[in-house]
Structure 1
Amino acid sequence: MSVTVQHTPSAPAQAGSGRIGPGQALRDSMVVAKRNLLRMLRIPEVVVFGLVQPVMFVVLFAYVFGGSINIPGAGLDADAYRQFLMGGIFAQTVTFATAGASAGIAEDMQKGIIDRFRSLPMARGAVLTGRTFADLVQTALILVVLAVVAFLVGWRIHEGVLNALAAFGLLLLLGYAFTWIGALIGLSVRSPEAATSGGLVWLFPLTFISVAFVPSENMPSWLAPVAEWNPFSATVLAVRELFGNLPAGYQAPDVWPMQNPVLASALFSIVIIAIFRTLAVRKYKRATD
């Protein structure tokens, strides 16, 4: 007498729905991050083109606008403007990584790669966390190259190595925060093309209505408060302070983020991560249910 044992396969949709601990979730995230980093290595033009825009901004702003913009405490000094400029260029570069995150996630959704991940026994949030980690590594590499270019045009660090490392840390924290906004955008649109446009269109007003390229004192009275409370402005002023790139006579506007830029930068970035990571993971779960 034989007994036939029937095995009931578990549904793919349930594979990732089990309870997974933080350690396993981290390992899953690192696997996804490695996959995205290897993809970047196979398509190096993505990194190369990511370098072109910030380098162009450095050269154009340094030599076209240098000496034409009045810096409080330094006047129309071209060298002072180059020092003043680089904090804004660094911050703009890390925030523009948002578009890459948006397009990459939208492409994975369109090609069905997200569905394949969904069928695996892995943490749901690992797909997005791994993608944002990979984007963070790419952003760090771009910052290194950009810093070299900045040195070539006359930018210098004046406050020591530790403060410089803290400045780069704040820049990477801001960039990581903004990649979660990009992740949410990528999950909310239907194509990589729409994700790229959606990831960029709001960044231009955010970065230009700030203290990145001109002091808020030079703006209309109704616009200056918007620039001064912009989270992007807090990071720009924080890195200028930590790099020692502020003119000797510079007086920050009398508002809390400008008077406490390092603390404000860290707090703003942490709040953005907390809000948009929650929204993105929730959106991801709904998209794959």
Structure 2
Amino acid sequence: MAPDEAPKSPLDPAAEPEHGIECEPHLRFIRDSAIIAYRNLLTILRVPTLLVTATVQPLMFVFLFAYIFGASLGGGQYREFLLAGIFAQTVAFNAAFTTVGLAGDLQKGIIDRMRTLPMSRLAVLMGRTLSDLVVSVLSLVVMVGCGYVVGWRINGGVADAALAFGIILLFAFAMSWIGALTGLFSPTVEVAQSVGLIWLFPLSFISSAFISAETLPGPLRTIAEWNPITAVSAAGRKLFDNGAPPSFVPATGWAADHCIEYAVACSLVILAVAVPLALLRYRKVASK
């Protein structure tokens, strides 16, 4: 190495392997995904205001529903019922990070730069969704702390609580792939911001995240009963052992009786559909 040549970082995708040894394909994919995830997390660290949506907005929902609406919906029992729904809604909304992030990379030409590098195309999307999964973990940590402040408690066992958080994070990962697909179809960041929220708001509110789905009229009740956010919320409440207020009509039907299995199945189906579609769209965009 020349005296004035700076050593290359191991995280530099352009760095060549030592002694001419090439990485195995699966190891290259893991390495490339980690590099992209690291790059995205560095962006968040340098611009911490990007975390406002993932932290401040869920806090607003907690205090709004817990104290403004909660007094007429069941008080302390409603607050225990509420938190699992807030968890599911928060990680669903975090899909907007992926949408806006990918749209921004496209608009700035960063995707074009990545296309010229010897790296897996799937790694670009995987790195983005993994970094946003870290954001969802941070959101959950904030929400758990806020939940304990307003009176929410984990009444179930440690293993059940770990399973509940695992289901929520699996759903977060699945939703981020929908966000990736949306971002790849968005021509600008401004469009991505709008489109990313248009479908998330009805998805989260036509569910049992905040109320019992049984109180909704006709078709809306059917949509809410089979809504993935309802399943994730119900699975969380069941595993956290958080009951509903006595005034709430208990949910019935197969989706309610098998909420844990259905929540996992919803996330896996979303991944099975969204991942190949996002990869196909990325190839079309990157080849332009």
| TM-score in terms of structure 2 length | 0.88
Equivalent of residue 188 in structure 1, options 174, 185, 189: 185
Equivalent of residue 275 in structure 1, options 268, 273, 276: 273
Equivalent of residue 135 in structure 1, options 132, 136, 140: 132
Q: Secondary structure at the match of 1:228?
A: helix
Q: CA deviation at 1:49?
A: 4.1
Structure in which a larger fraction of residues adopt helix: 2
**Does the 8 Å CA contact 2:78/2:245 hold for their aligned counterparts?**
no
More displaced 10-residue stretch of structure 1: 228-237 or 20-29: 20-29
Tell me which amino acid in the other structure corresponds to 1:261. Answer: C
Q: Secondary structure at the match of 2:121?
A: coil
Q: CA deviation at 1:163?
A: 1.1
**Does the 8 Å CA contact 1:252/1:258 hold for their aligned counterparts?**
no
Tell me which amino acid in the other structure corresponds to 2:49. Answer: E
Aligned to 1:43: 47
Q: CA deviation at 1:252?
A: 4.5
Aligned to 2:21: none
Equivalent of residue 212 in structure 1, options 209, 212, 222: 209
Deviation per residue, 1:51-95 (Å, 9 max, x gap): 1110000001000111323xxxxxxx3111001111111100000
CA distance in 1, matches of 2:211, 2:244: 14
Aligned to 2:57: 53
CA distance in 2, matches of 1:276, 1:212: 23
Tell me which amino acid in the other structure corresponds to 2:164. Answer: A
Structure 1 regions of 5+ residues with no counterpart? Answer: 1-19, 70-76
CA distance in 1, matches of 2:52, 2:223: 34
**Does the 8 Å CA contact 1:106/1:187 hold for their aligned counterparts?**
yes
CA distance in 1, matches of 2:221, 2:135: 33
| TM-score in terms of structure 1 length | 0.88
Q: CA deviation at 1:182?
A: 0.6
Tell me which amino acid in the other structure corresponds to 1:95. Answer: A
**Sequence identity percentage:** 47
Structure 2 regions of 5+ residues with no counterpart? Answer: 1-23
CA distance in 2, matches of 1:173, 1:37: 19
CA distance in 2, matches of 1:122, 1:222: 47
CA distance in 2, matches of 1:222, 1:107: 37
Does residue 198 (structure 1) correspond to residue 195 (structure 2)? The answer is yes
Aligned to 1:263: 261
Does residue 26 (structure 1) correspond to residue 30 (structure 2)? The answer is yes
CA distance in 1, matches of 2:137, 2:214: 31
CA distance in 2, matches of 1:60, 1:107: 32
Change (3 A) 1:251 1:218: closer
CA distance in 1, matches of 2:105, 2:218: 45
RMSD value over aligned CA atoms?
1.6
Equivalent of residue 76 in structure 2, options 70, 76, 79: 79
Bigger CA radius of gyration: 1
Tell me which amino acid in the other structure corresponds to 2:224. Answer: A
Aligned to 1:96: 93
Does residue 114 (structure 1) correspond to residue 118 (structure 2)? The answer is no
Does residue 286 (structure 1) correspond to residue 280 (structure 2)? The answer is no
CA distance in 2, matches of 1:223, 1:28: 43
**Does the 8 Å CA contact 1:210/1:232 hold for their aligned counterparts?**
yes
CA distance in 2, matches of 1:161, 1:252: 25
Alignment of 1:218-257 (within 5 A): 218-247=215-244, 252-257=250-255
**Does the 8 Å CA contact 2:215/2:249 hold for their aligned counterparts?**
no
**Does the 8 Å CA contact 2:212/2:249 hold for their aligned counterparts?**
no
Q: Secondary structure at the match of 1:136?
A: helix
Equivalent of residue 63 in structure 1, options 58, 67, 75: 67
**Does the 8 Å CA contact 1:100/1:196 hold for their aligned counterparts?**
no
Aligned to 1:166: 163
Tell me which amino acid in the other structure corresponds to 1:277. Answer: V
